[in-house]
Structures are given as C-alpha cells and as structure tokens.
Homo-oligomer: A and B are copies of this chain.
Amino acid sequence: MLSTTTLACTLVAVSEASARPYHHGNLRSALLAQAELVVGEHGVEALSLRELARAVGVSHGAPRRHFPDKQALLEALAVEGFDRLTRELEAALQEAGDAAFAERVEALAGAYVRFATRQPALVDVMFAAKHRAPDATLHEAAGRASAAMQGLIAEGLATGELDADDPQAFATALFAVLQGLVSLSNGGMLPAAEIDATVADATGRLLRGSRPAA
C-alpha cells in the first residue's frame, strides 16, 4: 500500500485527519487533539485511552510511549488549556486598550468566563489536574495564565483605583467570583443569557467595595 513510507511520515503531521497517517507520525499530538475533541463533546468521564487509540488508528498499547498513563494525558491537555486561556486573556486586555480600570477588569473577567463556559470540561481537567499532581510544566502554564490578572491588579494600584492595603485579596476575591459564576452557569443554576450581565454586576460590586476609603 504505502511504498513511500518516509514521505508519508512528513505529511502525517499536517494531514492528521486523513486516511492512514499513523503507525508512526506525530501520535502524541494526534492523541491530544482527539482527546480534546472527546472531552469537549462528552466530558472527561467519557474519555477512554483505548477508544482514543482506536480513533487514531493505533493499537491500545501505543499511547503508552507518549503518556505513561491516563493522568499524564490529562495533564498535557490541561497545559494546552492554560496556554490557550493565557492567549485569550491577553488578547482581551489588548483589545480593551487604555480604557478605564473598571472596564479593563470587566474585559478580563468576561474573557475568562467566556472561555470557561464554552469549554467547561476542559476547565474541569485544568483544575482537577492542578489538584493532584505537582507537575512543573503544568504549574508554569497556570502561572502564565494568572500573570495576566496580576498585571491588571498592578495597574489598578498604580492609578489609585484600588485599595493598596491588600491587593492580593482583591485578586483572590475577583477570581473567586468568576470561578463561582462559571460553576453556577455550568451547573445550570445561572441562565447562559444572563452570564455577561451577572459578571459585570458582580465585578462592579467587588470594585466598589475595594476602592480606597479616603
């Protein structure tokens, strides 16, 4: 069938979805891509290594070369999630330009909540993975995502729109509301149509309650 195996290999990485690309080729990224698809569509609990291997056209033992076990694959997925989140947060802040501090906070908040409500299962994987494994690359990926928020807090302090008493406390409270609203929305306790308005309202309360007393 395949006489020019070497040529096939180089094409593999590009045309993952096509006919018979595997057996070797970039199995690792093919598995990750398929895993993200399954998780996004049916949730983490529906993910099966054997089905993944099948979908990608490889024997069930093959994934082991790239991911020692299921948990390792989930961690790799989590890293990808954090990287994508970081990009979306930074893009949102860039788009907000040099608007007022409150508007920039809301832009960041909206971007986070949009990301998390559109891919709830991925966010589950991201935080569940953080929970159990002290993986270095995962921790760094999460750190890059939170850096966007830390930077914004620094802005608020610089412009005096934030109480300088305990800036970290504001960051924590803000992230907590967002994460909580995501939980409510993904749990069906908050209508999807109301999420944007609710995010704006909640961050508003937090900002009002965090202004310097003077």
A contact set with B: CB distance below 8 Å: 127, 130-131, 166, 169-170, 172-173, 175-181, 183-184, 186-190, 198, 201-202, 204-210
Residues A172 and B184 in contact, CB atoms below 8 Å apart: yes
Closest CB in chain B relative to A84 CB, distance in Å:
19
A178 to B205, CA, bound (A): 15
Most chain B CB within a 10 A radius of its CB, from A176, A178, A186, A204: A176
Q: A130-B189, A183-B183, A187-B130 are in contact. Are A176 and B205 (CB under 8 A)?
A: no
A131 to B127, CA, bound (A): 18
Collect the chain B residues with CB atoms within 8 Å of residue A208's CB: 208-209
Can you report 12 A-B residue pairs in the complex whose CB atoms are below 8 A from each other? A127-B183, A173-B198, A173-B201, A173-B202, A176-B177, A177-B180, A179-B180, A183-B183, A205-B209, A206-B206, A208-B208, A209-B210
Collect the chain B residues with CB atoms within 8 Å of residue A173's CB: 177, 198, 201-202, 205-206
Q: A206-B209, A209-B205, A209-B208 are in contact. Are A131 and B188 (CB under 8 A)?
A: yes
Most chain B CB within a 10 A radius of its CB, from A127, A166, A172: A172
Residues B179 and A184 in contact, CB atoms below 8 Å apart: yes
Q: Identify the closest chain B residue to A189 (Cβ).
A: B130
Q: A208-B209, A209-B208, A209-B209 are in contact. Are A183 and B179 (CB under 8 A)?
A: yes
Q: A179-B179, A180-B179, A183-B183 are in contact. Are A202 and B172 (CB under 8 A)?
A: yes
Q: Identify the closest chain B residue to A169 (Cβ).
A: B201
Closest CB in chain B relative to A28 CB, distance in Å:
25
Closest CB in chain B relative to A174 CB, distance in Å:
9
Closest CB in chain B relative to A39 CB, distance in Å:
15
Residues A172 and B186 in contact, CB atoms below 8 Å apart: no
A186 to B131, CA, bound (A): 8
Q: A127-B183, A130-B188, A178-B180 are in contact. Are A209 and B198 (CB under 8 A)?
A: no
A205 to B175, CA, bound (A): 13
